[in-house]
Amino acid sequence: MSAGTANGNAGSAAADPATAATAAERRREQHGWYFYDFASSVYSTSVLTVFLGPYLTSVAKAAADGGGYVHPLGIPLRAGSVFAYTVSVSVVVAVLLMPLAGAVADRTGRKKPLLAGAAYLGAGATAGMFFLGGDRYLLGSLLLIVANSSLAVSMVLYNAYLPQIAEPEERDTVSSRGWAFGYTSGAFVLVLDLVLYSGHGSFGVSQSTAVRICLATAGVWWGAFTLIPLRRLRDRRAGPAGGRGTVGAGWRQLIGTLRDMRRYPLTLSFLLAYLVYNDGIQTVISQASVYGSEELGLGQTTLITAILLVQVLAVAGALGMGRLARTYGAKHTVLGSLAVWTLILCAGYFLPAGAPVWFFVLAAAIGAVLGGSQALSRSLFSHLVPAGKEAEYFSAYEMSDRGLSWLGPLVFGLAYQLTGSYRAAIISLVIFFVLGFFLLARVPVREAVAAAGNAAPQRV
């Protein structure tokens, strides 16, 4: 929260005790809200970005035939593509669940119980990854699908709180702080993971067991710190139709939401741009460790250190880009980040194998833009949501954020399937950032905010 906002709240507090109480309650909810990023980001970092990709790939290779293929349901797949394909399947499952969760939440006004259910299902599946070993790649794929889709559903509900707990002028700052909390927890847990993995012999465990402990403890962390937002966030009263035939009404509301969104074509234009460029971001995040280990020949310790560097710099990046947004507007700041992402992928294609220093340089560049591009996109969208429809509209946003981010991993997996080269796979992602840049540049954001019936901040 900016100093000006804080001073304004203090001044109103002296004049109006009711306003002061409301501001204090809002800050309490904001602090609780930050902690869901703190809880769940460890899964995204330790599991999805660092350990599970290379580990599940090694498990799949252990189950592969002489040609390097596995055959789930009789379908021949390169073992090296299993992780990418599983990520794609998980987000397709999320597509089926997220809109329903958003519609039910808005209809009943009970986001918090739904958030708890999704969070603990995902945390439980992640903790279950301790039992992933040998050639059990199908078990690993199943747990990944459950955990990833559960995280996506929980994020629909989590993001839908943002317009309710932050005033329009606060949202860039509040959203950026949420991301900063997440990257802080991710960095802290990665340090612990690095200690365990690097010194596994000193702890009396094998390298494989150390990886499985790191995977499982991410689930425990996720579940434990979810208690904080569940204590501080509060449910709002549902609309007049709330509570009637929850499941059936939720599906009817979903259909109504899709029709209703046609009334806001500029909001849809932003979602399309976000769908495209965020697909690229999510794929880079999930496939970076596979690229580093399989194509560049880097060890797990190097990968952990690189991702730790990303986490540390992403905290500063999220907060720094939040400040840039106050000067240049969120849209222009995001556009600048997409240009940097494009340069990062081009540089990644030419990285020499076995050269960790250059991998660290690339990781530093990713950290500088990762948190800010995601945080500012979330706050931008919060201005484009009609009042009272936060959860259902954020379900569409989350479909773009995670639920429809299946195309990037699919393209990455197919590129490797066809060429046997991860360099071809990584450069194929450039199109997502270039196309997303031009689609976002065409969106008149201030007009979109007004069309949604909201007051625009000074700079968007």
Smallest CA-to-CA distance from 93 within 152, 174, 157 is with: 152
> Which of 122, 180, 432 lies closest to 284 in space, CA to CA?
432
Q: What are phi and psi for residue 90, nearest 5 degrees?
A: -60, -35
Q: Residue 3: what residue type? A: A
| pLDDT-derived band at 238, boundaries 50, 70, 90 | low
Q: Is the pTM of this model over 0.85?
A: no
Q: Is the pLDDT of residue 103 over 70?
A: yes
Please report, as a single letter, which amino acid is at residue 291.
Answer: Y
Determine the Cα–Cα distance for residues 124 and 217; give it in Å rounded to an integer. 10
* pLDDT (mean) for 63-83: 87
Q: Average the pLDDT over each of 31-40, 227-236, 238-247, 350-359 and give the range with the smallest value.
A: 238-247
Residues 35 and 179: beta-carbon distance below 8 Å: no
pLDDT of residue 349: 92
Identify the helix (H) or strand (E) that includes residue 227: helix 227-232
| Mean pLDDT value across the chain | 83
For residue 450, which of 267, 270, 327 has the smallest C-alpha distance? 267
Determine the average pLDDT of the residues in 133-160. Answer: 91
169's CB contacts (< 8 A; 6+ apart) are 2, 5, 457, 458
Q: Can you say how many angstroms the Cα of residue 428 is from the centroid of all Cα atoms in its chain?
A: 21
List, in order, residues 6 or more apart from 258 with CB less than 8 Å away: none
Which pLDDT score, from 0 to 100, does residue 237 have? 65
% of the chain with per-residue pLDDT over 70: 88
Q: What angle do CA 335, 364, 428 make, to 5 degrees?
A: 60
- Report pLDDT digits (tens) over 345-376: 999 999 999 889 999 999 999 988 987 888 88
CB 203 within 8 A of CB 196: yes
DSSP for 246-294 reads HHHHHHHHHHHHHHHGGG-HHHHHHHHHHHHHHHHHHHHHHHHHHIIII
Q: Note the pLDDT of residue 242.
A: 47
Is the pLDDT at 236 greater than 80, yes or no? no
Q: 325 versus 216: which is more confidently predicted?
A: 216
